[in-house]
Amino acid sequence: TLLDEQGSIVEIAAKYYRKGQYVSAFSGKCFASDAKISLDALKVNGHTFASLNSLRSEKDILLSLFDWILKLEGKPDLAGINIHFDFHFLKNRAKRYNIEVGSVLPYRLHDITNIARFLETIGLLQIKRSGPGNSLKDLADALGVTYNEKDLHTAEGDVNLYQAIDSKLEELAKQAMCKCKV
């Protein structure tokens, strides 16, 4: 609902891959009754106040997410775009409900913005930025990944777009490694 610690979760999605193979996914929509809401955020996410009132509680979605993570094999890494923000946001929202997630959330975070910046620095990627930093849309455009505009900024749409971008970045990173071998 806001892009700071005062915000709350409206949608959340994740996909689990092991050794490059899809295993399972999680998604849910929720609303915290005492959430501070940015009308701009609702507009971007395609929600209304009426649609929020019909959603599960934020605490319920968080508990379901953590249950899903606990059922995964091993301790998976968490990957995404600007993933450090998401990681700390999840921890803070869980803390609000007195949920201790220290051993549930992954230790290793992978941010594709770092890979994109490296590939851009060595000339294998050119990104036209629509604003400050990297966005999924900007990275998708730079990599020729197709997407549906209406799916942008939805949890499931973004996690699917992230996966497609990550695959393309991995291909470019392999090219960079081949070029660097002596």
List pLDDT tens digits, range 144-176: 999 999 888 889 999 999 999 999 998 888 887
Q: What is the DSSP letter of 151?
A: G
163 contacts: CB under 8 Å, gap ≥ 6 = 15, 17
In this prediction, residue 25 carries a pLDDT of 96
pLDDT tens digits for 105-147?
777 888 998 889 989 998 999 999 988 877 899 999 999 999 9
Residue 31 phi/psi, 5-degree rounding, is -155, 135
Question: How many other CB atoms sit within 10 Å of the CB of residue 180?
Answer: 8
pTM of the model: 0.84
Assess whether pLDDT exceeds 80 at residue 95.
Answer: yes
